[in-house]
Amino acid sequence: MRYERLVIQAGSNSFTLDLHPRMTVIAGVGPLERESLIGELVGALSSSRSGVHAELVQDNGRHIAVFRPDGGRHRVVDINTASDVSSEFAAPDGKIDLLATSGLSARHARARLRLAHTDLNARSQGDKLVRQLAEQDQDRLWAAAEALRVSDDRLQGEAEATGSMPEDAAVIERIEERHQAFQSAQDRHESFRRTSIVLALGCAGLALPISFASKLLALPLLLVASVTVLVSVVFRSRLQTASRLEEEALAEAGAQSYLGFHLQRVNGLLSDDQARKRIMAAAEAHRLAGAEWRLVAGDVPMTWALEHHEEIQAAARVRMDVTALSTMSSTAPALDNDRTTDLARVLIGRLNELRTFGQDGESFPLILDDPLVGLHPGMKPALLELLGDASGAPQLIFLTQDEDVASWARLEALTGALSILEPKPEHHDTPAPVPTPVTIQL
């Protein structure tokens, strides 16, 4: 299965993403935008995202369109025959869910369809990470893993209950934090402004008659008035900074980027106070659990650790035995010195997995979440060529902020082997174009 087009609607705005059958590189997108777009791509296949429509091609060549209108009946249409085939993709609860009908859960699919640099590093350094985690306090390690898993499930549940995705919580939280900072700065500024006006006028008023008697005595009063004015200017500057940061948070949420639909969705969540409080509480618990996990395990993904639970515990037992005997192990396997080859092995392994990911052997796209970030530039060309050659089975969607990847994609796009999209931010000096609603007609 591969995407042909993704259409996302939010109120009167719509955003259309046309995807190359083999590989699409979306360049210039930061972490928040990548999280949002990954949520939309996976949400188009699951049952949680209203307002997201998709045109897809199955492995057997059939073209289907998935319609998820807000407030309307979700359905699937066979484009070639113009017939409603919703019943083929209806989950037991009646919702249209292409993942469930392929025997996949949204959480499992999201973990496998997405490949980030942390996943790539974890899988390419498996032996090293097993030893690293085996050295930790096992009770604390697995308690932290369980707490993070539970908080992740809770956040997923709260997000689905509001018709959103977990990454929306990060957007809401950032906007809320910036808004609270702005409100606090505004309150401090207003409070000090009133006091400073009274104090400055009082000092200036006293200094004037005193200056006739002694300019030296009036000097301290004038100094106090001047300092008061300067402090007021500082508070004003802080208020402007807080306001700018809040605007930036809103812009990153979609107001000033190609993801213009995103702000409307976040505003919808914010309008429901109870939903907002629940999802914020879940996000806070998830953040605390994530902080504890990182404190114990570092950058190792929790899902990877759970998948290798037995290996890690076995290594921990061996380590305890060795420590008890006061000996040093000289037989631990060495890391592969050819790092590029190791990373290539992981990429090929994930591609092979997704070629027959569904229970009926259906393939699914691989969403690459800037997996090569942090690698030495000399390592990237070979890995990018590997991805380019392997693309199409499955389809690849590469989200990146890496200029090395974008430069490579621009050249490859000239051959037609892939397409590259480079969203341009809107500028304040010219009016922003109004998005034209997109209608899919059969």
**Tens digits of per-residue pLDDT, 188-246?**
666 666 666 666 666 666 666 666 555 555 566 566 666 666 766 676 777 677 667 66
> 79: helix, coil or strand?
coil
Among 271, 286, 308, which residue terminates a domain? 271
Residue located via tokens 């879940």: 282
pLDDT for the residue 397: 97
> 123: helix, coil or strand?
helix
- Structure tokens of 107? 């959480």
Residue located via tokens 């001047």: 226
User: Is there a single domain that holds both residue 109 and residue 177?
Assistant: no
- Structure tokens of 102? 């392929």
Any domain includes 70: yes
Residue located via tokens 């650790």: 305
User: Is there a single domain that holds both residue 107 and residue 180?
Assistant: no
Percentage, residues of the chain above pLDDT 70: 65
Query: Reading across the β-sheet that carries 75-78, which strands appear in turn?
Result: 13-18, 2-10, 52-57, 63-67, 75-78, 83-84
Any domain includes 143: no
Any domain includes 93: yes
User: Is there a single domain that holds both residue 116 and residue 236?
Assistant: no
User: Is there a single domain that holds both residue 178 and residue 120?
Assistant: no
User: Is there a single domain that holds both residue 34 and residue 120?
Assistant: yes
Q: In the beta sheet, which residues pair with residue 100?
A: none
Cα separation values, 164 from 4, 226, 261, Å:
23, 52, 13
User: Is there a single domain that holds both residue 121 and residue 173?
Assistant: no
User: Is there a single domain that holds both residue 23 and residue 101?
Assistant: yes
User: Is there a single domain that holds both residue 365 and residue 419?
Assistant: yes
Long-range CB pairs of 271-275 (<8 Å, 24+ gap) are 272/162, 275/158, 275/161, 275/162
Residue 435 pLDDT greater than 50, yes or no: no
Any domain includes 317: no
Among 271, 294, 318, which residue terminates a domain? 271
User: Is there a single domain that holds both residue 111 and residue 178?
Assistant: no
User: Is there a single domain that holds both residue 375 and residue 258?
Assistant: no
- Structure tokens of 104? 């996949």
Any domain includes 132: no
> Counting beta carbons within 10 angstroms of the beta carbon of residue 171, is it exposed (0 to 12), middle (13 to 18) or buried (19 or more)?
buried
For 231-258, the pLDDT digits (tens) are 666 767 776 776 676 666 555 544 443 3
Q: Round the average pLDDT of the chain to a whole number and report it.
A: 77
Residue 57 pLDDT greater than 70, yes or no: yes
Q: Residue 107 belongs to a domain with what CATH number?
A: 3.40.50
Task: Round to whole Å and give the CA distance between 154 and 403.
Answer: 36
Any domain includes 285: no
Residue located via tokens 């309008």: 271
* pLDDT-wise least confident of 20-34, 65-79, 80-94, 235-249: 235-249
Task: Round to whole Å and give the CA distance between 417 and 413.
Answer: 6
User: Is there a single domain that holds both residue 15 and residue 103?
Assistant: yes
User: Is there a single domain that holds both residue 119 and residue 181?
Assistant: no
Any domain includes 5: yes
Any domain includes 301: no
> Counting beta carbons within 10 angstroms of the beta carbon of residue 270, is it exposed (0 to 12), middle (13 to 18) or buried (19 or more)?
middle
Residue 412 pLDDT greater than 80, yes or no: yes
Among 227, 251, 271, which residue terminates a domain? 271
Predicted TM-score (pTM) of this structure: 0.64
- Structure tokens of 228? 């008061």
* Residue among 56, 80, 57 at smallest CA distance from 68: 56
* Residue among 73, 294, 55, 51 at smallest CA distance from 168: 51
How many domains, in total, are found in the chain? 2
| Domain span holding position 211 | 168-271
Residue 338 pLDDT greater than 60, yes or no: no
- Structure tokens of 111? 């973990």
At 307, the amino acid letter reads E
